Structure 1
Amino acid sequence: MLKHTQNLLDIMARLRHPEEGCAWDVKQDFTSLIPYLIEEAYEVVDAIERNDLDDLRLELGDLLLQVVFHSQIAEEQGLFSFEQVAEGICDKLIRRHPHVFSDAVFNTDEERHQAWEQEKAIERQKKNKTAEPDSVLSGVARNLPALIECEKIQDRAANHGFDWPDVLPVFDKVLEELDEVKEAWQSGDQAHIQEEIGDLLLVTVNLARHLNVNAEVALKESTKKFSRRFQYIEQQLEASGLNLKDCELAELDAFWNQAKQALNKK
């Protein structure tokens, strides 16, 4: 094993030592570490989006620490070790790439994708330890961000033929769902409004799929754009001696259009 990898494992074991370790590290378990695992994954994404490669190196280290932390807890309980975690992903990569590690031949990307999905389906079947019936949708993590989960579910269904043949009917479906949201709003039934908003979001994700857009990334970028424009408005109001809450909507809208023009030039 590489020197620094082994050093990291040794440090983690020392931190978890019941008498000589760190009290905070010792009391952690799989569940208590979930927020840190999620946070570190998002911080890796943030470093990538900022193109800060030095920070990316550091954040990947923090994410690796979470893998080592969980592996150490598992080893203490006699479940598995870090070495077995590494062994498992090595085996999976080899299984899923028979065109690289054996004599399989794929003539098109579609053939390669179908073989990948077939292997994943076999793995899901082996992992299914519940009484739930096997489904092509099985195995999608329930705690994913909603947009990512939605996209993965739709991809699974599409891979088995449940999808529109092209994008035009999806545009029509978005408009149909938007009309249904309006009808629900007019009814005043809050539960129905929520349901129809959910349907609108779902079909919007489907539209993004058909246009080869990652819905999660698209929404993130639009949220950032909104924040930049809103902060521009705040700056202009402050420079003018105005208070945000005291302004009429028409004034704010004018500042918003000004922000669009100003920031689009940068």
Structure 2
Amino acid sequence: MALVVVTTSPRVAPGLLTGRAWTALRSDRVLTGSAGHPVLPYLADEGIHVEVVTPDPVALAAEGRTGTVVWLAAQDGDENLMRAVGHAAVAMEDPPVIEVIPGSYDLPGARLLDLVQVMDRLRRECPWDRKQTHESLVPYLVEEAYEVLETIDQGDFTALREELGDLLLQVMFHSRLAQERGQEGGFDIDDVATGIVEKLVRRHPHVFAGTAVSGAGEVSDNWETIKAAERAAKGETDSVLSGVPMGQPALSLAAQMLRRAGRAGVPASLAGDLPDTVGARLFELVRLAQDEGLDPEAELRAVTREYRRRIEEWESES
């Protein structure tokens, strides 16, 4: 005597069920409260009859006392109903055994499918989202990236979760816009994911191809070698500065250029006779930080945070 609850995920193709779920669903009696459950046609193809009934927690608990009955839960899990069934069963003198069998379940990353669906709907039905372009979204992309950085600086990992979601939305939004271009240079979020997966596999031969490395330094060297080969395959000019985005903040730009120059063996003298300007002195400070193994951006941000703390303290005392 038992009530067996079979749950399914809306993010998994409805005909894909676990072996235990199929075995349970071939039981003598299967009930559901969802007339439109997407699994029903697949069960019908297998000759499995499912009765659609009005959910009644007391009656359902009682059914489990007289024999084995299977409840095919709605795709939200019928959480409220199951909670009520549990309360009803506890109140019985001879309560049924209640067993939950996952018919299908989410793999890591499955909720990204929900984001795809939400983005598609926003693009169709929201006037603001419909009018956006790649260009109009640029300020939001930059803003969200800086907000992620701020939460990391503050060590606020609760806020980091939210800000990473906002940044992920930007990736999804731009991918959705690109998808609408169709054959004219269009791509979708799956293409974006495929591209980064292929790149990571290609640039990590020590993980995916059995290449032996002595340590992180050799990993970095291999990475640059592979990147150079990729540029050559595209017919791009191989340069120390290839891939350095000139639009990034100047402090980060100087640090990246100095790192690239150092790895490529660019003579240090090229930076030695710059005009004596504030910019040149800032550039020299970046070089000194690099020589000491420090991130100049992080160092300046740390000092700026301390200055902010002092200002806030001064304001509170005024």
* TM over 0.5, shorter chain: yes
Structure 2 residue corresponding to 1:99, chosen from 206, 211, 219: 206
Q: Is 1:212 the counterpart of 2:293 in the alignment?
A: yes
Q: Does structure 2 conserve the Cα–Cα contact (< 8 Å) formed by 1:71 and 1:82?
A: yes
Q: Does structure 2 conserve the Cα–Cα contact (< 8 Å) formed by 1:41 and 1:63?
A: yes
Aligned residue runs from structure 1 range 113-152, under 5 A: 113-126=220-233, 133-152=237-256
Identity of aligned residues (%): 42
Give the match's secondary structure for 1:138: coil
- Aligned partners of 1:61 and 1:222: how far apart in 2? 28
Structure 2 residue corresponding to 1:60, chosen from 164, 168, 188: 164
- Aligned partners of 2:225 and 2:148: how far apart in 1? 30
Structure 1 residue corresponding to 2:219, chosen from 112, 120, 129: 112
Q: Is 1:76 the counterpart of 2:183 in the alignment?
A: no
**Could you tell me which amino acid in structure 2 is paired with residue 94 of structure 1?**
V
Rg larger in structure: 2
**Deviation per residue, 1:242-266 (Å, 9 max, x gap):** xxxxxxxxxxxxxxxxxxxxxxxxx
Give the match's secondary structure for 1:213: coil
Structure-2 change in CA distance of 1:221 and 1:42 (3 Å): same
Give the match's secondary structure for 1:68: helix
Q: Is 1:87 the counterpart of 2:191 in the alignment?
A: no
Give the TM-score taking structure 1 as reference length: 0.71
Structure-2 change in CA distance of 1:82 and 1:232 (3 Å): same
Query: Could you say which structure has the greater relative contact order, defined with CA pairs below 8 angstroms and 6 or more residues apart?
Result: 2
Partner of 2:282: 201
Partner of 1:7: 114
Partner of 1:264: none
**Greater displacement, 69-78 / 100-109:** 100-109
**Deviation per residue, 1:77-129 (Å, 9 max, x gap):** 12101001000000111111100101211124332221111112223445566
- Structure 1, unaligned stretches of length 5 or more? 165-169, 182-195, 239-266
Aligned residue runs from structure 1 range 156-195, under 5 A: 156-162=260-266, 181=276
Partner of 2:132: 28
Give the match's secondary structure for 1:33: helix
Give the TM-score taking structure 2 as reference length: 0.60
Q: Does structure 1 conserve the Cα–Cα contact (< 8 Å) formed by 2:228 and 2:238?
A: no
Residue correspondences, number:
207
The offset of 1:27, in angstroms, is 0.9
- Structure 2, unaligned stretches of length 5 or more? 1-10, 12-108
- Aligned partners of 1:234 and 1:5: how far apart in 2? 44
Larger proportion of helix: 1
Q: Does structure 2 conserve the Cα–Cα contact (< 8 Å) formed by 1:136 and 1:156?
A: yes
Partner of 2:87: none
**Could you tell me which amino acid in structure 2 is paired with residue 96 of structure 1?**
R
**Deviation per residue, 1:7-64 (Å, 9 max, x gap):** 11111111111xxx11111111111111111111111121222222221111111111
The offset of 1:203, in angstroms, is 1.5
